[in-house]
Amino acid sequence: MVIAEKIIIEGNEVYLQELRGDGEVCTTLRTPVSSLLRYLAWAMPSPLPLFPTGVRWLCQQKELLFLVVEHPPQCRTLLISEEKVGGQDYKTYRLAFPYIIYLLTFYRGSFEEMKMFYRLGPLSTPHDPLFYTNLPNVRGEPGHYGTQRVCLRYRPEMLENKPLAETVPALIDFFWSTGFNKDIASSSFERARRRDSRLAGFDAWEEATRANPLFMLEIDWEPTEKSIPALWLECLKLHGETGQPVSTAEELADILYRLPVGY
């Protein structure tokens, strides 16, 4: 007797049917779509690229990739101008930094934006508190999606179509190598300089660095009241997505329509 199998997805259910040689149709298995997808995610995980050093957390949904990179406390040499646009007055400062968290978003394989936050210790959970920075080229006002977005001046086109293991450190290095100025109103620097006299100006910051390179771990930084998962959900919402798992035939069909030809 010949038995042919057929999979039917209807609503929130998946049916496995057998069509026997005598014409009898028999449903041999019935399960929710969500259960099938959970098993497929475990049995056939999506291939992921090689990630650069420092990646602590990631999320990927459809064409959106969200990476969290952590750097330990360190001193950096920055070019800083006291002018709004930045003229001929750039000076070099050697400045201390606490733990830095970078959030990088890639959409359809291309870099979209980078945000950054401070921490007083390494991440232990995705819900650990994040703090505002004190950099002039970082948007500082709260209550806005763009809060803590860094200014890269322009999107580095030379990083297009490069593997993430090259793109991510290159983007971070590019940010630190550009000159800093007072072009952003309500920047993180302006918000933070009133919290501690050692942050009142770049000269004071550099002097405090010479006295104690780890003094930035002593600052009472302003909390953002945002967690990494909450920022990921904001990013999803901006792209018309939600954080809910795929659970219906319609959502599964949407994924199938997005598959490249021959995938």
Region 147-173 average pLDDT? 80
Q: What is the pLDDT of residue 146?
A: 75
Predicted confidence (pLDDT) per residue in 218-232, tens digit: 999 999 988 999 999
Nearest to 229 by CA among 66, 21, 90, 26: 66
pLDDT of residue 239: 81
Structural tokens at position 72 = 């330990």
pLDDT tens digits, one per residue of 161-217: 788 888 899 999 989 988 888 776 667 888 888 889 999 999 999 999 999 999 999
For the residues 14-18, what does the mean pLDDT come to? 80
CA separation for the pair 195, 188 (Å, rounded): 12
Residues 6+ apart with CB under 8 A from 159: 111, 166, 167, 170, 171, 174
Overall pTM surpassing 0.85 (yes/no): no
User: Residue 262: its pLDDT value, please?
Assistant: 45
- pLDDT for the residue 14: 82
Give the pLDDT of residue 164: 86
